[in-house]
Structures are given as structure tokens and as C-alpha cells.
Amino acid sequence: MTKKNEGLYFVLLGGADEIGMNMYAYCVNNKWIVVDAGYGFLNDDYPGIEMCYASPEFLKEFSGDIEALFITHAHEDHMGAVAQVWPSLQCPVYATPFAVGLITERLKEYKMEDIVPLQIVHAGETIKTTSFEVKFVSLVHSVPETCGLFIKSEYANIFHATDWRMDEGKLGNAVFDSKSLEEASKEGIDMFVCDSTNVLLDHEQPSELDIRKNLINLIPNIKGGLVATCFASNITRLESLVLAADAAGRTPILLGRSLQTNVRIAKECGYFKDTPRTYLPEEASNLTSDKALYICTGSQANYRSALSIIAKGESKYVKLDKNDTVIFSSKIIPGNEDKIEHMQEQMIADGVNVITEETAQIHTSGHPSKDELKQMYELLKPKIVFPVHGDKRFIREHKRFASSCGVSEVCSGKNGDVFKLLDGKLEKVEEVFSDVIGVDRGRSVSLSSELIKNRRRIAYNCSLFISVLISADNRLLDLKITSIDILEEQEWEKLAQETKEKVFHVLDKEIQEKGLTSSVKDQIKARIRKEIFKATDIKPVTILHIFKQGENQCQ
Ligand SMILES: [Zn+2]
Ligand SMILES: [Zn+2]
């Protein structure tokens, strides 16, 4: 990006038209701040890739001028990639205590906890950098201490709030700080960067307090073994489950490492103060199943999560029997529908009662519906609404809705877009490099790299290996065609043999006449692939190995 002096520049690096891998950068007078560094979630199109995040490559060239990374809250899609992104930024990282606790845990996995300068910020505090003043404004969401950022600068003021909702229930420290929002509004908000996750919902959803009451009413009426699952970082919900266990005379037992880590950090931050103590499964081995409430992660049916292990009957702590109950105090993250349904059906087939948000009011979302969005526009009175944090359909609807509410300008973009905001006018001025980096068993790899493209090609088109033995005077002595994923073994043996017979003499002639030129090598692959395609309709990824007699190496 060329240096420009006037105006505020807003760069979308991740999360612009999707849910996940949030990362945005702001620049004034060539000094930068970055908001969030989150993970994204992938479907089965990327075999072997666990997670992904927005590439920080673009920011590298400004690393001396990046003054802060602000983390809005402790969800993976906002802070999960700090370890991967920070080396490109090399700046202090500001977050609220619970987020700092979870980020520290993650940094320990990469032995980076002593390298990354993490700074604790409390809601209401303001951090000043050379070109910006950033106030952390407390909002309500499904993880403690979520903040919107009121970003002030010489040229424009921004309110950046991906992930929030309104909730009058006021549980724990979940405060929707309307006083600070009103003050920000009075100072003037040029642009509101806003969550689009629930824009398709019309009405406000139940309060977290309602969910607490419902769980406390529901759980004492359940007989037999009981397991409840929710998101590990939803500390208020976990507290509600612990209170419900207490009301039912059950002991709350935490299953799974991520849940235990989240609860430990939450306790260090002062949560779970007014709830009975929780137990580890090892401490509660003498309890009968009707005296325990096992709380675990795995609501998304992730492979090897505590709940998946229980569902498969492989848990050493919990065996689900007929008439036991599993409560899903969670929503389905889009893309996980099939996995979750499969797991729940397996439980139901085993005679287990499954209670979900469809059958009881035991979950509420942390994102704003249309009602809440409208109230927020009225509170903040932004000149421009810039929807992010939703796929394209959601962004379109959010733009339409904001316009219908009287917001004078609505705008959206895609990752890589650079916008300039000056004198209340927003214009797209540039597109810069953006990419998605996958985490492949601990290694980082671009999802647009040849490696990943080949992996996808192999997943869809199979693989073919051709081995050719050639004499010193360029005669074809032998040809072996192998594959493990095109046909069943016997069928393949037959096809490989037939193919060999068909092409052997032609290839022999070609090699004798022209030698092993690169075009002859291409011919070998092309002729064999053509036969395989004719028989199977598959165009496999093909690897050719050539062995020449008298030479002690493969070609
Ligand atoms: Zn989010
Ligand atoms: Zn969130």
C-alpha cells in the first residue's frame, strides 16, 4: 500500500464477508493498529487442515509502525491466531483479563508466552497510540468481558463491535455499557463496524438470565444419568449449569481439557465466586450417576471431543444408559449439522433422552437480532454502517436493513479491500494482498498453495503412479501402473494390466526414437491417463518415476 497522509485507512484482512478469522487494520498518518487475530473453521474441502487464519503478510512491511493489536473478546474467531500472526506485527497485544488468560494458554503451546507482550485492559479503559485513542466499551456476548472498541483519530471516529448483543438480564459482569455508547455517540461516530451473525432474526432473543432460570427448573426434574454440553468459553452458561446441578442435588463434574482450562482461567479472573465448587472426574468416581451432572464440550460433535467419546461408549468416566439424558445447551454452528445430527441420532437409538434448544429454551445467542441492531443504530447514530462477521447473504441483508432503518450510508467489502475515510466519506481506494493460511498439523501453509491444491485434487481425482524401467539404449523394459484409490484392488489390477498392454509398444517406440525428452515423459503420462479416464471417468493426479538401467539413481 502506498503511503498516504490524509484520512483514516481501514483494511479488511479477514472476517469481512464470512464468520471466522477476524482481522482488521486501521491506519492514520502511517501508524497502524490491528483489531483481532482469529481462527477460521474449515469444511472437508481441506483434508488435514485443522484451522485457518487470515494471512498477516500485508502487515509485515509496516511492522515498525504497528503500535497495537487489540483483541475484542476471548472467542477463537477473534483471538485464536495471535501466536501465528504476532511475529508479523511485533507489537503489544491488548485484551481483557479472561482473553489474556486464554491467549497465554495458547501461546504456551507455541512457547511464545514470554515473547508476546500481552497487556491487560479493563472495560472502560482507553489505550493511546500515536494516531489513535481506543476505548474498550463493555458489551454483552457469550463470553465474558467482550468489548466494542471506540476508536478515535484525527480524521474519523469508529465504533468497532463484531460480536455483541443486548441483554438486560445482567448476569456476572455482562454489562451493556449504554452510557459509554451514548458518550461515543455525542463525540460523533463516522463508521460502525458491526456484527451480522443474527441479522436474519427479527426479534430479541431470551436473556441469559432466562436460560439460567430454565436450566435450574429443568435439571432437578431429570432422573438418571445426566450430561450437559455447552461452549467451553461460555462462562455464564457454565455457572448456570453448576447452579442447576446444585438445585438438583447433583455434583457438577467438568469433563475435557479445554473446559477445565477455561474454568480454571475464569476462576483466576474472579468468576464462579457465587457457585458451588466444580469437580474433576477423578475426584468423583464414587458418585452414582443420578448424583452427578457431567458438563463437557463437544456440542459440535467434533472428533475426539469429550461428548463424542461418551457417545461412542469410549469414555472411562461416563457410560450412557437407556433413559439417561444429554442436554445440548448450545447452537449448531453452520456446517456441523450432519455431524451433530448423527451423534444425537446415535444417542436416541441407544434410548438416551436428548434435549436441545429446539425442544427447550436452554440456549440463547450472543449476537444481535434486527431489533437489537436497530436499537444500536439509534444509540450510536453512525454516519456509516459497515457490516462484517457474516457470509455474503447476511452482509447483503444487514446493508438492506440498516438502510431501511435510516442509516445514511451502508458499505461492505471483501478481504483485501482498503477503504479511506475522510470528512465523513468512505471510499474504496485499493486492494492489497490477502490470503488464508491453514494450520496443517502445526505447520502453516497457504490454502491457495500448490500443495493444498494438489491435496484437494487427490481427494477428488485420486492418484496414479507410473514406474518405467528403461535400458541403457532407451528401450522400454518394464512398466508398472499403480494406484490405491481409483478402483477396488482386483478391478484395478485388471485395468492396470490392460492399460500396460495397450500402451507398452507405442511408448517403447516413442522412447527409442526420441529418447527421454520432457515431451516423451509427458506422453507417457498422457497416454496412460487417457486409458484410465476412458475406463473410469477419473483424471488422477499422476506421478512418473523413471529408472534407467546402469544408472544408480531414479530420473
Ligand atoms: Zn465472532
Ligand atoms: Zn464471539
Phi-psi bin for 272: left (phi > 0), alpha (psi -120 to 50), beta? left
**How far, in Å, from the CA of 255 to the mean position of ligand 1?**
25
Please give the distance, rounded to the nearest whole angstrom, from the Cα atom of residue 160 to the centre of ligand 1.
12
Whether residue 554 lies inside any domain: the answer is no
The full 3-state SS of 519-537, as one line of letters, equals: HHHHHHHHHHHHHHHHHHC
Report the share of the chain in percent with pLDDT over 90. Answer: 85
For residues 422 and 380, give the distance between their C-alpha atoms in angstroms, rounded to a whole number. Answer: 19
- CA of 37 relative to ligand 2 center, distance in Å: 12
24/120 same-domain check: yes
**C-alpha span between 549 and 555 (Å, rounded):** 11
* Cα 6 to middle of ligand 1, angstroms: 31
Query: Which of helix, strand or coil describes residue 225?
Result: coil
Residues 223, 347 within the same domain: yes
Residue 214 lies in a domain: yes
pLDDT at 3: 61
Q: What is the mean pLDDT of residues 198-225?
A: 94
pLDDT at 1 over 70: no
List beta partners, residue 194: 161, 387
Pairing type for strands 157-161 and 191-195 reads: parallel
Asked if residues 181 and 380 have their Cβ atoms less than 8 Å apart, the reply is yes
Dihedral class, residue 547 (left if φ above 0, else alpha if ψ from -120 to 50, else beta): beta
Taking the centre of ligand 1 as the mean of its atom positions, its distance from the CA of residue 332, in whole angstroms, is 14
- 64: cell is 515498525
Q: Is residue 489 part of a domain?
A: yes
pLDDT tens track for 475-503: 999 999 999 999 999 999 999 999 999 99
Assess if residue 21 is contained within a domain.
yes
The answer on 181 and 64 residing in a single domain is: yes
75 alpha carbon to ligand 2 midpoint, in Å?
5
Domain boundary among 355, 383, 410: 355
Looking at the CA of 75, name the nearest ligand.
Answer: 2
Give me the mean pLDDT over the 133-151 stretch: 97
> In angstroms, what is the span from residue 282 Cα to ligand 2's centroid?
32
In sequence order, the 6+-apart residues with CB closer than 8 A to the CB of 418 are 1, 9, 10, 11, 12, 428, 429, 430, 431, 432
Cβ 34 vs Cβ 24: under 8 Å = yes
Shared domain for 473 and 343, answered yes or no, is no
pLDDT at 465: 97
How many A from CA of 399 to the centre of ligand 1? 19
Q: How far apart are CA 267 and CA 261, in angstroms?
A: 10
Task: Using the structure block, give the residue that is written with the C-alpha cell 500402451.
Answer: 503
Are 369 and 339 found together in one domain? no
For the chain, how far is it from start to end, CA to CA, in angstroms? 45
CA 243 to ligand 2 center in whole angstroms: 24
Ligand 2 centroid vs 212 CA: distance in angstroms?
Answer: 20
Q: For residue 215, what pLDDT is reported?
A: 98
- Domain-terminating residue out of 329, 355, 381: 355
User: Where residue 255 sits, what CATH number does that domain have?
Assistant: 3.40.50.10710
The pairing of beta strand 31-35 with beta strand 425-431: unpaired
Name the 3-class secondary structure at 17. coil
Own/partner contacts of 332-336, CB < 8 Å, gap of 24 or more, are 332/300, 333/41, 333/300, 334/19, 335/41, 335/43, 336/300, 336/301
- The CATH number given to whatever domain includes residue 425 is 3.60.15.10
Distance 206 CA to ligand 2 centre (A): 17
**In this structure, which ligand is nearest to the CA of 389?**
1
Cell digits of residue 77: 474467531
Tell me how far the alpha carbon of residue 10 lies from the centroid of ligand 2, in angstroms.
21
Ligand 2 center to 460 CA (angstroms): 34
Cα gap 329→101, rounded to integer Å: 24
Compute the distance between CA of residue 383 and CA of residue 259 in angstroms, rounded to an integer: 41
Structure confidence at residue 46 (pLDDT): 83
Ligand nearest to the CA of 140: 2
The pLDDT of 249-255, averaged and rounded, is 97
Q: Quick: pLDDT tens for 329-354.
A: 998 887 788 999 999 999 999 999 99
Query: Per the structure block, which three cell numbers stand in for 529?
Result: 491417463
C-alpha cell at 239: 455457572
What is the Å distance from ligand 2's center to 74 Cα?
A: 7
Q: What pLDDT, on a 0 to 100 scale, did the predictor assign at position 358?
A: 92
Burial profile 330-357: b = 16 or more Cβ within 10 angstroms, e = fewer? bbbeeebeeebeebbebbeeeebbbbbb
- 72 Cα to the center of ligand 2, angstroms: 9
String of b and e for 56-81 (b: at least 16 CB within 10 Å)?
A: bebbeebeeebbbbbbbbbbbbbbbb
Q: Do 264 and 299 have their domain in common?
A: yes
Q: How many domains does the chain have?
A: 3
529 and 416 within one domain: no
**457 domain residue, yes or no:** no
Same domain, 82 and 173: yes
pLDDT at 89: 96
Distance CA(341)–CA(82), nearest Å, equals: 33
Looking at the structure, do residues 198 and 215 belong to the same domain, yes or no? no
* Residue 42 binned pLDDT confidence (cut-offs 50, 70, 90): confident
Exposed / middle / buried, residue 141 (Cβ in 10 Å: 0-12, 13-18, 19+): buried
pLDDT at 460 over 70: yes
Cell of 11: 483494511
| Mean pLDDT, rounded, of the chain | 94
* Between residues 45 and 363, the one the model is more confident about: 363
Amino acid (1-letter code) at residue 88: S
228 within 8 A of 362, measured Cβ to Cβ: no
Range of the domain at 375: 8-203+365-446
199 lies in a domain? yes
The domain that holds 520 is classified in CATH as 3.10.20.580
Q: Which pLDDT score, from 0 to 100, does residue 185 have?
A: 98
The CA 307 to ligand 1 mean position distance, Å, reads 23
Last residue of a domain, one of 394, 420, 446: 446
Q: In this predicted structure, what is the pLDDT of residue 4?
A: 64
Q: Which helix (H) or strand (E) holds 292?
A: strand 292-296
* Ion ligand 1 contact residues with beta carbon within 5 A: 77, 163
| Claim to verify: residue 181 and residue 214 sit in the same structural domain | no
502-546: pLDDT as tens digits = 999 999 999 999 988 899 999 999 999 999 999 999 999 999 999
Tell me whether residue 3 is in a domain. no
Classify the C-alpha dihedral 535-536-537-542 as positive or negative.
negative
Q: Is the pLDDT score of 373 beyond 80?
A: yes
pTM for the complete prediction? 0.90
Q: Tell me, what's the pLDDT at 219? A: 97
Question: Closest ligand to 38 CA?
Answer: 1
DSSP symbols for 326-369: EEE-S-PPTT-HHHHHHHHHHHHHTT-EEE-TTTSS----SS--
Same domain, 216 and 303: yes
Quick: pLDDT tens for 106-116.
999 999 999 99
CA distances for 219 relative to 57, 152, 251, 326, 399, angstroms: 50, 47, 12, 11, 41
Same domain, 199 and 219: no
Q: Which of 515, 509, 513, 512 is nearest to 527 (CA)?
A: 509
Q: Is residue 262 part of a domain?
A: yes
Ligand 1: centre distance to CA 392 (Å): 15
d(C-alpha 96, C-alpha 122), whole Å: 5
pLDDT at 2: 62
For residue 15, the CA-to-ligand 2 centroid distance in Å is 12
Separation of 548 CA from ligand 1 center, angstroms? 57
Question: What is the C-alpha separation between 233 and 29, in angstroms, rounded?
Answer: 37
Ligand 2 center–CA 278 separation, angstroms:
25
Please say whether the beta carbons of 145 and 99 come within 8 A: yes
